[in-house]
Amino acid sequence: MYKVDTIAAISTAIGAAGIGIVRISGPDSFEIASKIFKGRKPFEKLKDHTINFGRIVDPATGEMLDDVLVSKMYGPKTYTGEDIVEINCHGGTVMVNRILELVLRIGARLAEPGEFTKRAFLNGKIDLSQAEAVIDIINAKTSESSKVAFAQLEGKLSEKIRSARKSLIDLIAHIEVTLDYPEYDIEKITEEMVQKSLMEINGMLGRIVKDFERGRIIREGINAVIVGRPNVGKSSLLNELIGKSKAIVTDIPGTTRDILEEYVNIHGIPVRITDTAGIRETEDLVEKIGVEKAKKAIDEADLAILMIDGSKGLTDEDKDIIQQLAEKKVIVLINKVDISDNAKIEEMENELKAFKPVRTSMVDGEGIEELEKEIARLFLQGEVVGSDEILITNVRHKKLIDDAQGSINRALEALDTGMPIDCASIDIKDAAEYLGQITGESVSEDVMHSIFSRFCIGK
């Protein structure tokens, strides 16, 4: 399913760094390395899975490129299952690119995005769901999302899916043997036995997907937008959450004219916080554009954090903004409580009691912890990821499990209406096929290309 050739790529991020790694994988890896590596021992005599100091030398000119550490690893006990060489050189854009160019000139081909991991999958080192976990680990924005991805990389999800698929295949085999070879002394399978097995498998799949939304949020995060009238403290809240002064804060209304975005980790949830221009009627052309962008950000957000100036009370403009947030999850903050009259605050809380508003002050950080807890409650019901918990985070996996459950339900309906068992087996086979697409036991080349094209080239 792939060319048996030798590929190479830079496996570390491009930029100023202490170390850069050029990875080579394939049948000619050792031959290429032997032509460019000069150490105390010839490359051919280096031991398996060892790291060796030496120099990279251009064989055409004799020019020494860099002092390096070279790893020599024999397949199949490698990431890709093939012979692998990793050249650890000094980091930086120039050096790693010079070494890569030399490797390509000697005989390797530049790897495609995700091709190292794709070869690991095709060589049976990992299954498809584990391969997808690799990119999730790379893209993880919080410790919780990395924990979920690592559990998938360890094969915990694959184990559950394979178990369900094996049960379906065993059921199909039992049905077909019973129908095709009635003369053999094999226990005859009945409609009741098939129904019981299918309901058990359906229940197992249901338990896997029940927390999909929680898993998706941990993996992908949420978009939260801070909204409110001008000068209510939106930029101060952004700065408080990210822990640095990114937004300009002044007492002048309309200071924020554009959208400011930053990722923060709130109780394990990657949250993209967006600070917007204050929403109000204005004749200022630039500010008017900022207000329109704010309204668009509201439409795209999963959560709106509405800030109200506690020292001014609830205004008509605040009420108009609340109407615009009618279809959103909303957390209301009554800000500037440090300079507000307590009676006025209590009056506002009574008017906004449906939202259970949080009292905040950006001067002393009051209410920030309560805000973070409320975000976690809204999106994770306050739960964290358990050490043995398996969460479905991938939309592709969720859809395939839904499709498998749909096929199982159709098989159960067929049996309920009195149709022969062999008719139900068609839907059972479809369910097994869907589950096989998760682990890669039955998957098309187009699906594989789509998955691995999202990887970086060096992975």
Query: Going from the N-terminus, what domains does the chain have, and what CATH number goes with each?
Result: 7-126 (3.30.1360.120), 132-211+391-440 (1.20.120.430), 221-380 (3.40.50.300)
Q: Give yes or no for residue 139 having a pLDDT over 90.
A: no
Q: Which of 136, 130, 196, 132 is nearest to 160 (CA)?
A: 130
Q: Which of 283, 281, 243 is nearest to 262 (CA)?
A: 243
- Per-residue pLDDT at 245: 46
Euclidean distance between CA atoms 79 and 76, whole angstroms:
8
What pTM was estimated for this model as a whole? 0.75
The DSSP result for 253-282, as a single string, is TT---S-EEEEEEETTEEEEEEE-PPPS--
The band of 248, judged by pLDDT with boundaries at 50, 70 and 90, is very low
Q: Which of 432, 452, 454, 428 is nearest to 442 (CA)?
A: 432
Percentage helix, strand, coil for the chain under 3-state DSSP, each rounded to 5: 50, 15, 35
Q: Which of 158, 225, 150 is nearest to 441 (CA)?
A: 158
Q: What is the mean pLDDT of residues 31-45?
A: 95
SS3 12: coil
Top-confidence residue, 248 or 302: 302
- Per-residue pLDDT at 2: 54
Q: How far apart are the first and last CA of the chain?
A: 19
Q: Give yes or no for residue 174 having a pLDDT over 70.
A: yes
- Stretch among 52-56, 380-384, 410-414, 446-450 having the lowest mean pLDDT: 380-384
Q: Give yes or no for residue 396 having a pLDDT over 70.
A: yes
**Dihedral in degrees, nearest 10, Cα atoms 275, 214, 158, 428:** -120
Query: Mean pLDDT for the chain?
Result: 85
pLDDT digits (tens, 9 = 90+) for 345-381: 999 999 999 999 999 998 888 999 999 899 888 887 6
In angstroms, the Cα distances linking 251 to 235, 254, 256, 291 are: 11, 9, 11, 18
Burial of 69 (0-12, 13-18, 19+ CB in 10 A): middle
176 C-beta neighbours (distance < 10 Å), count: 14
The DSSP result for 47-85, as a single string, is PTTEEEEEEEE-TTT--EEEEEEEEEE-TTSSSSSS-EE
Residue 6 near residue 26 (C-beta atoms within 8 A):
yes
Query: Of how many residues is the chain composed?
Result: 459
pLDDT digits (tens, 9 = 90+) for 268-285: 888 888 887 655 555 455
- Per-residue pLDDT at 289: 61
Residue 231 near residue 247 (C-beta atoms within 8 A):
no
